[in-house]
């Protein structure tokens, strides 16, 4: 009998290990509407297709806070875990997304920029509807009060004045969320996905996870101040792209060098992105890196003491938010890619910031 119990325990542990994972995927939505800008929208029909796929393929939809806290402790999450997030608290989240998610009893996270709510901006939710979202299984995150480009200094502003202003903006949003919704949050989504080491320090000081917008899965060794999400919008939300996103794995990299984060257009090619690849179940020789425009970039594999050191010369970018996405196919699962993405903010040649 004792031998039988031990054998049964071994089988159960094996089953649990098969259905556990060291990573998850975070999806980012803004509008769920056919009447809003395509760059930040998916139609209700496309969103329904996304949810249907997650349901039919046995994905586990967990809250973002649960995923981050579990992975941060080095613990396993269920296999095929996904978190669903929304930035800006738009009306369509309540009208379109929430009923579909509530029908499935799936949690979701809404990052709120509180000034828009306080002022009753068009297409944004009000506090009463945000309370109803909480009742429907949502959790709330901080998206700043002003939703300004927080990485930018105002004219004549010193570094200390900038730090004070940005910190107060985040704290004000936190206070409004606590006062209206009674929630204490520890997740901050960068407005426009823009972040620099200096802004990350402020986020860290306030005890937040920093939620970004560059693509990729999140694993045990994730950077808690630059957590990746896969943006879902009209040109990047078809089912092929969705399949690639939700089945992705975090590309294990270390020793990343990429500075400066803020650059001047036309001077980018003097800089490089470099990182060391750690072992994993992916085909390192098939690693490929692409610029924001989809241009395949030349990789340099550096010889020397450090094995698998990769360096990529940055393209001559124009002004804007620019990224490099590096992917490598899985060595064990067809159609699965290991993914790492990195962000730069590029000013105009005259040093002025780009406009939206």
Residue 5 scores a pLDDT above 60 = no
- Check whether residue 188 and residue 281 sit in a common domain: no
Contact 108, 138 (CB under 8 A): yes
Tokens of 356: 């939206």
> What's the mean pLDDT in 324-343?
97
Residue 95 scores a pLDDT above 90 = yes
In a domain, 264, yes or no: yes
Indicate which CATH number applies to the domain containing 169: 3.20.20.370
- Check whether residue 28 and residue 168 sit in a common domain: yes
Residue 77 scores a pLDDT above 50 = yes
Residue 15 scores a pLDDT above 60 = no
- pLDDT for the residue numbered 308: 86
pLDDT mean across residues, the chain? 93
Residue 84 scores a pLDDT above 60 = yes
Residue 274 scores a pLDDT above 80 = yes
Rounded CA-CA distance 34/45 in Å is 9
- Check whether residue 201 and residue 264 sit in a common domain: no
Tokens 């990052």 correspond to 111
In a domain, 14, yes or no: no
Q: What is the CA radius of gyration of the chain?
A: 21
- Kindly state the percentage of the chain with pLDDT values over 70: 93
Rounded CA-CA distance 49/43 in Å is 10
- Check whether residue 243 and residue 134 sit in a common domain: yes
> What's the mean pLDDT in 20-47?
96
In a domain, 356, yes or no: no
The residue among 223, 248, 273 that closes a domain is 248
Rounded CA-CA distance 320/290 in Å is 16
- Check whether residue 263 and residue 335 sit in a common domain: yes
The residue among 248, 277, 292 that closes a domain is 248
- pLDDT for the residue numbered 234: 87
- Check whether residue 261 and residue 119 sit in a common domain: no
> What's the mean pLDDT in 210-217?
97
Report the Cα 29 to chain-centroid distance in Å. 10
> What's the mean pLDDT in 195-220?
97
- Check whether residue 29 and residue 117 sit in a common domain: yes
- pLDDT for the residue numbered 307: 59
- Check whether residue 199 and residue 279 sit in a common domain: no
In a domain, 323, yes or no: yes
In a domain, 170, yes or no: yes
- Check whether residue 238 and residue 101 sit in a common domain: yes
- Check whether residue 132 and residue 267 sit in a common domain: no
- pLDDT for the residue numbered 170: 98
- pLDDT for the residue numbered 11: 33
Please give the DSSP secondary-structure letter assigned to residue 110.
E
- Check whether residue 242 and residue 307 sit in a common domain: no
Residue 101 scores a pLDDT above 60 = yes
The residue among 228, 248, 268 that closes a domain is 248
Q: State the sign of the Cα–Cα–Cα–Cα dihedral 52, 57, 63, 68.
A: negative
Indicate which CATH number applies to the domain containing 342: 2.60.40.10
Domains in the chain: how many in total? 2
336 by DSSP, 3-state: which?
coil
> What's the mean pLDDT in 57-79?
97
In a domain, 64, yes or no: yes
In a domain, 317, yes or no: yes
- Check whether residue 298 and residue 182 sit in a common domain: no
Rounded CA-CA distance 40/6 in Å is 53
Tokens 């990429």 correspond to 258
Residue 280 scores a pLDDT above 70 = yes
Question: What domain range includes position 121?
Answer: 19-248
Task: Band the pLDDT of 10: cuts 50, 70, 90.
Answer: very low
In a domain, 13, yes or no: no
């Amino acid at each position: 009998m004792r031998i039988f119990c031990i054998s049964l325990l071994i089988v159960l542990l094996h089953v649990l290990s098969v259905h556990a994972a060291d990573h998850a995927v975070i999806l980012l939505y803004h509008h769920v509407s056919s009447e809003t800008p395509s760059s930040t929208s998916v139609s209700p029909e496309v969103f329904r297709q996304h949810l249907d796929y997650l349901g039919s393929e046995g994905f586990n939809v967990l809250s973002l806070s649960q995923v981050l806290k579990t992975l941060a402790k080095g613990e396993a999450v269920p296999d095929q875990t996904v978190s669903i997030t929304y930035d800006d608290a738009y009306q369509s989240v309540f009208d379109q997304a929430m009923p579909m998610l509530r029908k499935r009893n799936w949690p979701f996270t809404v990052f709120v920029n509180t000034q828009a709510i306080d002022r009753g901006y068009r297409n944004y939710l009000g506090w009463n509807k945000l309370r109803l979202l909480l009742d429907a299984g949502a959790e709330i995150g901080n998206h700043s009060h002003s939703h300004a480009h927080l990485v930018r200094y105002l004219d004549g502003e010193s570094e200390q004045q900038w730090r004070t202003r940005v910190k107060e903006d985040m704290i004000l949003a936190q206070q409004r969320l606590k006062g209206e919704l009674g929630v204490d949050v520890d997740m901050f989504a960068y407005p426009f996905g823009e972040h620099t080491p200096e802004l990350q320090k402020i986020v860290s000081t306030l005890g937040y996870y920093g939620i970004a917008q560059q693509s990729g899965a999140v694993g045990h060794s994730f950077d808690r101040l630059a957590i990746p999400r896969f943006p879902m919008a009209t040109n990047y939300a078809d089912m092929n792209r969705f399949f690639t996103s939700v089945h992705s794995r975090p590309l294990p990299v270390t020793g990343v060098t990429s500075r400066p984060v803020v650059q001047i257009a036309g001077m980018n090619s003097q800089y490089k992105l470099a990182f060391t690849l750690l072992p994993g179940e992916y085909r390192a020789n098939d690693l490929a890196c692409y610029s924001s425009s989809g241009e395949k970039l030349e990789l340099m594999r550096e010889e020397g003491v450090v094995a698998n050191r990769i360096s990529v010369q940055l393209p001559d970018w124009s002004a804007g938010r620019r990224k490099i996405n590096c992917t490598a196919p899985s060595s064990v699962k067809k159609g699965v890619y290991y993914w790492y993405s990195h962000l730069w903010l590029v000013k105009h040649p005259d040093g002025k910031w780009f406009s939206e």
